């Protein structure tokens, strides 16, 4: 944001904070208010909990380990059929992978 005169500073700062808060909301980041965003300049340490903070919250299958002689497609179809109606995040991931 570029301003041409000191009087515009009174409008530029709230505008920048409003845009920052709005952009955070678009990205799924809840910012309680512009004063919180403004105070982040003093942050020197960030502590994260183990789950849900830097993840998408959507499980995915990263690998399928088969017994000797088993067909991957068949195993996935059977597992997907079992988990098709599941509401559990892991069950949903298996059903998605099977499709």
Q: Which residues are known catalytic residues? A: 49
Return all residues near 84 (Cβ < 8 A) that are at least 6 apart: 95
3 state SS for 14-60: HHHHHHHHHHHHHCCCCCCCHHHHHHHHHCCCCCCCCCCCCCCCCCC
């Amino acid at each position: 944001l570029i301003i041409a005169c000191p009087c515009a500073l009174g409008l530029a700062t709230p505008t920048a904070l409003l845009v920052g808060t709005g952009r955070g909301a678009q990205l799924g980041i809840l910012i309680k208010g512009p004063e919180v965003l403004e105070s982040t300049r003093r942050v020197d340490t960030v502590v994260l909990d183990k789950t849900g903070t830097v993840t998408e919250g959507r499980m995915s299958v990263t690998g399928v380990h088969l017994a000797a002689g088993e067909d991957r497609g068949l195993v996935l179809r059977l597992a997907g059929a079992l988990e098709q109606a599941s509401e559990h995040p892991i069950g949903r991931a298996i059903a998605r992978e099977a499709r």
